[in-house]
Amino acid sequence: MFIIDSYTTAVLFCGVTMLCWGSWANTQKLAAQQWRFELFYWDYVLGIGLTALLIGLTLGSTGAAGRGFLADLRQADAAAVGSAVLGGVIFNAANILLVAAIAIAGMSVAFPVGIGIALVCGVMVNYLSNPVGDSGRLFLGVGLVMVAILLNAFAYRRAAAQKAQVSGRGLLLAVVAGLLMGFFYKYVAAAMFPDFSVPVAGKLSPYSAVFCFAGGVLLSNFLFNSLLMRHPFSGAPVTYADYFRGSARSHLMGVLGGGIWCVGMAFSIIASGKAGPAISYGLGQGATVVAALWGIVIWKEFRNAPKGTPMILNGMLACYLGGLVLIIAAR
């Protein structure tokens, strides 16, 4: 299987993760306008599963290092597989709750709260599980990225001229989503053997772990998303018949979105062998600001923003870049 042999390459892989995790949501914007998120999400999950399998059969089966993808799956014990699958279930629950929070409280409130908590909680949990890197630089960098996320939220609120009242239910959902999102990565990392070049009996390679994680996402979606379709947090219920009436473009955008996200996940897991899970996860969750850049440059979301908003956005970018430098320097 393909493995990374230098920290520099690991940082580059984490950069790809940031781009992927911060960009996949554009595919939902490119789907048909009437295409509900609950329907989009089925194709998104399918895209995650197919991409995880493709990466396993290609990068996971290339070279003499480690253990090949199929052979690794055959020898894996139930505990390792269960840990990776559990990570997928937790991630899926968190992702759906975050979407519900956004529908109720709005992007500018729910997303920064949810991802902000996930960033801090995830880095702490992963660092305590595998303390790789200088903790001072790492947590200072995470703090700067958090400030960037909050500045992004403030700029969105100014642009949208939102009222001060915030839905308590939406905020609670965002907090729960963030806490869950901070824990999923730990279980995927725990399923793998620590040195990717030295296989351990019963444990998973990064490629097999991502594939089992995707299985957890797919299986749990039959419960979570089916409930959401019947009892949506926003809008009327939708049915499976509505899904099959979707256009080819809408379905393709969902699969593409899931594929993009899964490439980011795979690259983050592969990079964790050299960077450590805390640094790899922390860099990846900087994707919030990447998503903001898409909104600024491509979707022109701040076109009519109040005076002074560009200064806030510049401060956001400065904090974001400073945070990334410190996280990278932590190793």
- Confidence band (pLDDT; 50, 70, 90) for 160? low
- Confidence band (pLDDT; 50, 70, 90) for 295? confident
Give the alpha-carbon dihedral of 84, 87, 89, 92, to 10 degrees: -130
| Residue % of the chain over a pLDDT of 90 | 63
- Residues 6 or more apart from 288 whose CB is under 8 A from it? 22, 111, 112, 115, 148, 149, 152
Residue 32 has a CB neighbour count (10 Å cut-off) of 14
Q: Residue 297 corresponds to which amino acid?
A: V
- Confidence band (pLDDT; 50, 70, 90) for 166? low
The residues facing 204 across adjacent strands are: 192
The pTM (predicted TM-score) of the whole model is 0.90
| Residue % of the chain over a pLDDT of 70 | 96
Query: What pLDDT, in 10s, does the model give residues 208-230?
Result: 999 999 999 999 999 999 999 99
Domain ranges of the chain: 7-329
The residues facing 192 across adjacent strands are: 204
The pLDDT mean for the chain works out to 90
pLDDT value of residue 77:
97
Q: How far is CA 317 from CA 145, 217, 324, in A?
A: 9, 32, 11
pLDDT value of residue 161:
61
